[in-house]
Chains A and B, each alone.
Chain A
Amino acid sequence: MSLIELRQVWKSYGDQVVLERVNASVEAGEFVTVVGASGCGKTTFLNMLLGTEAPSRGELLLDGQPLPAEPDSRRGIVFQRYSVFPHLTALQNVVVAREFQMSRLLARLVGRRRRQVRQESLELLSAVGLAQSADKYPHELSGGMQQRLALAQSLINKPRILLLDEPFGALDPGIRADMHQLVLSLWRQHQLTIFMVTHDLKEGFYLGTRLWVFDKVRQDPHAPQAYGARITYDLPAGRKAEPGPAVGISLDRGDSDKVPAKLLLQTE
């Protein structure tokens, strides 16, 4: 059984159709990168996986079960901004995630369990290169460091799926490259399934095992809102799916030979 399955998913707001007839299945361990022009519904798609939005029609299944329409601990998220809590230090930002899970009433741990969780969190912080900054508040960290922290925070509870919403969009190119290596090593080490929305086609090809392009197949110039976007290309990207076996790729449409040139036009 696939980890995620989308069956004829539609999303519309009133008259405006954002996504139409989206079909796909994703196995555990894949790294799916999602590209597409602005307003083509890629963030809407991510929000549906996250649970902040529900499909208008169709089914979105996780392990064969419909996804609940609110966020939960099976799906971690890193946003472009505002992903960490400004009132907690880096270490507390990671610790609090364990406290949510382990102390339902007070969300505070004491004694031995507290020391254990602190230790666990410190290890994860060092893994993302933030050991030196454990006692700093987010406003004292650079943009890249904040995103590292957000990754560590998302991973400590071991979610099934990690969702990344243009997580490196606001970072400098050099720092981006570092972050790419970090994400790839975390993906391998924690055997994650990742969905990442990005503007950057090169980034999408480089990081993913699979690249999805969202685009509108049908266009009505008099009613641009009448048709929604679909996954127009589903391409094997450079990387081998790592924890699991390589995945069979099925294209929605048969014209894959024209892809690169068209892709570049659509996503620039």
Chain B
Amino acid sequence: MTKLINRRPDRLQRLVLGALPFLLVAGLYLWGSEQRLQANPNDKLLPAPSKIIDTMERLAFEPSKRSGDYLLWTDTAASLQRLALGVSAGALIGLVFGIVNGAIPLAHANFSPMVTTVSLIPPMAILPVLFIIFGLGELAKVVLIVIGITPVLIRDLQQRVIEIPREQLIKAQTLGANTWQTIARVILPQIMPRLLDSVRLALGPAWLFLIAAEAIAATEGLGYRIFLVRRYLAMDTILPYVVWITLLAFSLDWILRAVSQRIWPWYHGKSRQQPVATS
């Protein structure tokens, strides 16, 4: 018989095996929900699927009685906007400082200790400071995301720049390149796909900081909604919101990967003409 370490699943087996844990969790939930609702029809902890669907229909397709907004969509738009602003700003700062620190030893000596120090500050600890300085508006929440992810991005990217083989930088100089040209044509284009990789990894912490900031001070947003309805034990809202956030995070990650494969085929070991698979 083939040894276990040599047995590889085919496509169908992979699908079934991958789906199994999800089905298991769903089954456990349904069973638990049913048990609790039988004991107490008003139980709020594990609402029935029908209840969850009702609630989501209300949040997504009926205007709120109070504000007239479609809550799910206004929450989603508000959160995604904060996330996009924070992550883009963080990526831009990370790119600039990462390249400058990695490529120019004098700049590295100048900025690196500061970046390392700042990256050790727990961002949540200075959230009150941000609220005091920037007020309770959008800016404080965006800045929290920026502060949370930027030091890591800078450190990651400067390391990626340093990892570019020295031979390439010497080669560029023997071809007549000056510092600026070397950065523009050799370093930057090779760092861009790595920036996207780092951003994909930074999205996890970015969501964390977003939801934390929204939980404390906001008037709409996915994190705000979850923490608002927590008071009423409204699991029928919280659970689908969590699933929705997960789905958004997954889609963002997938889109970034697809973009990277399309724009930088060389980075993914693909050739120039051949159509690029996105899966």
Interface residues of A (CB under 8 A from B): 50, 52, 70-73, 75-77, 79, 81-89, 96-97, 99-101, 104-107, 135-140, 150, 153-154, 157, 159
Cα A101 to Cα B178 in complex, Å, equals: 9
A97 adjacent to B176 (CB under 8 Å) = yes
A81 adjacent to B167 (CB under 8 Å) = yes
Cβ contacts B159-201/A at 8 Å (1 or 0 each): 0000001011011111111101100111001100000000000
Pick the residue among B172, B174, B184, B272 that contacts A75 (CB under 8 A).
B174
**Residues of chain B from 97 to 144 with CB closer than 8 A to chain A in the complex:** none
- A73-B175, A100-B175, A159-B174 known; A107 vs B271 contact (CB < 8 Å): no
A50 adjacent to B185 (CB under 8 Å) = no
Binds A, one of B52-60, B70-78, B259-267: B259-267
A100 adjacent to B176 (CB under 8 Å) = yes
Pick the residue among A73, A89, A106, A140 that contacts B174 (CB under 8 A).
A73
Whole-angstrom distance between the Cβ of B158 and the nearest chain A Cβ: 19
A104 adjacent to B178 (CB under 8 Å) = yes
Nearest B residue to A89, CB-CB: B272
Count of CB-CB pairs between chains A and B under 8 Å: 86
Cα A84 to Cα B168 in complex, Å, equals: 7
A70 adjacent to B173 (CB under 8 Å) = yes
Q: Which residues of A contact B172 (CB under 8 A)?
A: 85, 100
Interface of A is mostly: loop
Query: Is B273 interfacial (CB 8 A cutoff)?
Result: yes
Query: Is B68 interfacial (CB 8 A cutoff)?
Result: no
Q: Which residues of A contact B170 (CB under 8 A)?
A: 50, 52, 71, 77
Pick the residue among A72, A84, A150, A154 that contacts B173 (CB under 8 A).
A72
Interface residues of B (CB under 8 A from A): 165, 167-168, 170-178, 180-181, 184-186, 189-190, 264-267, 269, 271-273
Cα A43 to Cα B235 in complex, Å, equals: 69
Q: Which residues of A contact B269 (CB under 8 A)?
A: 139
Cα A52 to Cα B265 in complex, Å, equals: 32
Nearest B residue to A80, CB-CB: B167
Nearest A residue to B271, CB-CB: A140
Q: Which residues of B contact A82 (CB under 8 A)?
A: 165, 167-168
Whole-angstrom distance between the Cβ of A163 and the nearest chain B Cβ: 8
Nearest A residue to B272, CB-CB: A135
Q: What are 12 A-B residue pairs whose CB atoms fall within 8 Å in the complex?
A: A50-B170, A76-B175, A79-B171, A85-B171, A85-B172, A88-B266, A100-B176, A100-B185, A106-B184, A153-B171, A154-B174, A159-B174
Nearest A residue to B165, CB-CB: A82
Cα A105 to Cα B177 in complex, Å, equals: 10
Pick the residue among B168, B185, B272, B273 that contacts A107 (CB under 8 A).
B185
Q: Which residues of A contact B181 (CB under 8 A)?
A: 100, 104, 107
Whole-angstrom distance between the Cβ of B192 and the nearest chain A Cβ: 9
Q: Which residues of B contact A154 (CB under 8 A)?
A: 174-175
Cα A107 to Cα B188 in complex, Å, equals: 13
- A136-B271, A137-B272 known; A76 vs B266 contact (CB < 8 Å): no
- A82-B167, A96-B185, A136-B272 known; A50 vs B174 contact (CB < 8 Å): yes
Cα A82 to Cα B168 in complex, Å, equals: 6
Pick the residue among B174, B178, B184, B186 that contacts A85 (CB under 8 A).
B186
Cα A87 to Cα B194 in complex, Å, equals: 12
Q: Which residues of A contact B171 (CB under 8 A)?
A: 77, 79, 83-85, 150, 153
